[in-house]
């Protein structure tokens, strides 16, 4: 039997408190007028819904940015919406606590890693924090969601905020790998400057609905080993996708 789900609910005032703790290098993103206005609007909406009794996830919407300045990002993986079930969303795209049942998309992600690295044991946990600690930005394009209501906070302002974050990372002079899975993530390629030197890899979303379908099935895409080969060519350490060691 799985242990009790951790409390991943957002509390009133938590968004402002988290913003105040983020690395200073993100400040210029949030200070830009269109982003500041969108952030004010979506924060007001979230606080209003909390006051009305809605259950909102995750407890830490900006966790993907914690302790990770734009210059420290080496790989970007984009999700769309936080998980909307109790005890799931952690503020990192695709990640859930180790005690949770593994969601289907994450299961396919780990299946692909196991296929690409057959010499290593398969990933055992569900928490992708070790990836974030190695410079993998696991960013959802909408940062909050209501319990049982997928995409409930889409088009409330989060997309303006996260587009600006993606563009800020892409402007950094240090090339990065962008793993864009599915049409929603692939649309963000327009935010990447041309001739930037970034590695851009695209495939279908890892969801069971699309992971095996053309034009580029996620299963068999080879993105994790290709990213590591590219990082090594750049003179950087590869990502430990399995053990999570720095």
Residues with catalytic annotation?
81
155 to 32, 36, 237, 246: CA distances (angstroms): 19, 15, 37, 36
Q: Which ranges in the chain belong to alpha helices (H)?
A: 14-21, 27-31, 33-51, 104-116, 129-133, 158-171, 183-186, 223-233
Which residues are bridge partners to 136 per DSSP?
75
DSSP-based helix, strand, coil % in the chain, nearest 5: 40, 10, 50
Q: How is residue 82 written in tokens?
A: 């936080």
Q: How is residue 196 written in tokens?
A: 């930037």
């Amino acid at each position: 039997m799985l242990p009790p789900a951790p409390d991943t609910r957002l509390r009133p005032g938590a968004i402002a408190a988290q913003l105040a703790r983020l690395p200073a290098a993100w400040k210029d993103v949030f200070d830009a007028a269109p982003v500041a206005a969108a952030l004010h609007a979506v924060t007001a909406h979230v606080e209003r819904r909390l006051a009305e009794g809605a259950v909102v996830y995750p407890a830490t919407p900006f966790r993907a940015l914690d302790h990770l300045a734009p210059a420290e990002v080496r790989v970007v993986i984009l999700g769309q919406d936080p998980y909307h079930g109790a005890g799931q969303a952690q503020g990192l795209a695709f990640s859930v606590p180790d005690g949770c049942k593994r969601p289907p998309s994450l299961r396919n992600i780990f299946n692909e890693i196991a296929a690409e690295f057959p010499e290593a044991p398969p990933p055992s946990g569900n928490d992708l924090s070790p990836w974030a600690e190695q410079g993998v930005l696991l960013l959802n394009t909408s940062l909050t969601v209501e319990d049982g209501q997928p995409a409930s906070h889409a088009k409330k302002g989060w997309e303006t905020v996260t587009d600006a974050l993606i563009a800020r990372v892409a402007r950094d002079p240090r090339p990065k790998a962008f793993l864009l899975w599915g049409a929603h993530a692939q649309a963000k390629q327009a935010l990447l400057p041309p001739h930037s030197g970034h590695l851009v890899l695209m495939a279908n979303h890892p969801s069971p609905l699309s992971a095996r379908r053309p034009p580029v099935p996620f299963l068999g895409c080879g993105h994790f080993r290709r990213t590591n080969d590219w990082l090594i060519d750049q003179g950087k350490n590869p990502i430990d996708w399995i053990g999570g060691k720095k």
